[in-house]
Structure 1
């Protein structure tokens, strides 16, 4: 369920409003044309033998409505989602007007026809979003990801309710589009640099204005120019049956491969006389910590702990000479035969999600905005934090956790 649907800045709502207004003007013109039929033009015609008089034309002439009246009538007749568009209730820079958002305990089935007898073509998970396409009785036709089908309207929200909910469940994300992004202490190019972020990293947006957005990084919250990031709001999307089956097969294969690699590494360590916790290569006190539990995940965590106190270096991946956060997790897992990308954003899609810290086990990768660490148990992580602190142990909940990924 890592895939997302993105609602970027769009003019679609404006275009639809303009088209609706144009249709209303055309309708009013047609009314005026119909009303111009005079008594003289129809007095010679008969309907069922009765002559149509000037009085009857006058009494029954077409009412000419104003454009505003026509627009109001159209809005009252339209589905809830389209009413919101015509009424212009949405921010001009982001359009949530066609969103439907699932509100269920787990997921709602998406079916190929508007009936409970329809075949299930996918699942729309709680707080996942889709695009509203049509309405058929109590069913909405939606498109979400690769899935197009029908959901029962009682299990989703739309219109104004979806707009408000989108602000709460949507994740506002800034994706870095430059080689090295400078995060500054205030919204100015003259402000001191708080930290650096690499290309394609994904940062949580906590505040924004027209030209700048405040993002969360390991060093704290800082400002970046929108010129160097792509900002959008993301929602989870539906998963088709084929995608679900492929995901399950991939996760199972990854678990088996990683477990085999971990067992090989553990056997190699024993034959070399290593304890699993190991001695730190340099620096501070990894020996004062140990991972909880057992198995390959605990072996990963204990191996990582021996490097506590070693330096942080932006862009680095050396566990002894200096590494950044994703370089740290990458290099630790490389020791166990697992290849991870050197990107905190990309590591958010590795392995499989366990749903949060409550389900975390030693060895899991804990993901934050622009940062990752390795869970060691007891509510703690080991991570390459900042240039000031280097590799250290922290409480896992010291920042908002975006996801927890299990590799083994």
Structure 2
């Protein structure tokens, strides 16, 4: 190969190299102008997660000898549901109401006992006459229950009690206390009253047993008792004799 051929070959190689240098930037420029970013990954592709977020979690077992710093011995209080809390409140209120009712009943029983002790007892056995017999008969019903509109030993109100007792002696009385205040013969004062007389007004009726005392049906809490004349609450009453 002569010198002319060598020079021609070298020039051709240089020209080819220059063309490569010019083409590469042009390619990158075209990519940039088109908005496309070309990159290569220099790290391995990560595997996709296989976790099932909807799956139920499960407990794991531990060795019996595991030490959890005392956490395994903690006494964790159990919480109550609203329904359980309401039920507990209702049970506590019921117990309190029952205790209060029992206390009230005990106090009323004690009061009745004290009242009976404070009232001087009348010895009807020394009295004679039909009125005394009726009064003595009436006293056997101490403790009988009070029932509104009732007129039998199973339960009566004030006028029902008076009506029942007199009926056992063949005497028919009207049903109301106001009407009973008009029967028989009037008695002028309590000093003239005798056992078996009726003491009555439009509110209450009772049977006089002597010594300023009457036997009468009071109310659902006290039942039938012997009391003094304060049972009329200071209101006027009639004294009527029918025997």
TM-score of Structure 1 vs Structure 2, range by shorter chain: 0.3 to 0.5
Greater per-residue strand proportion = 1
RCO higher in structure (CA 8 A, sep ≥6): 2
The TM-score, its normalising length taken from structure 1, stands at 0.29
Greater per-residue helix proportion = 2
Which structure's CA Rg is the greater one?
2
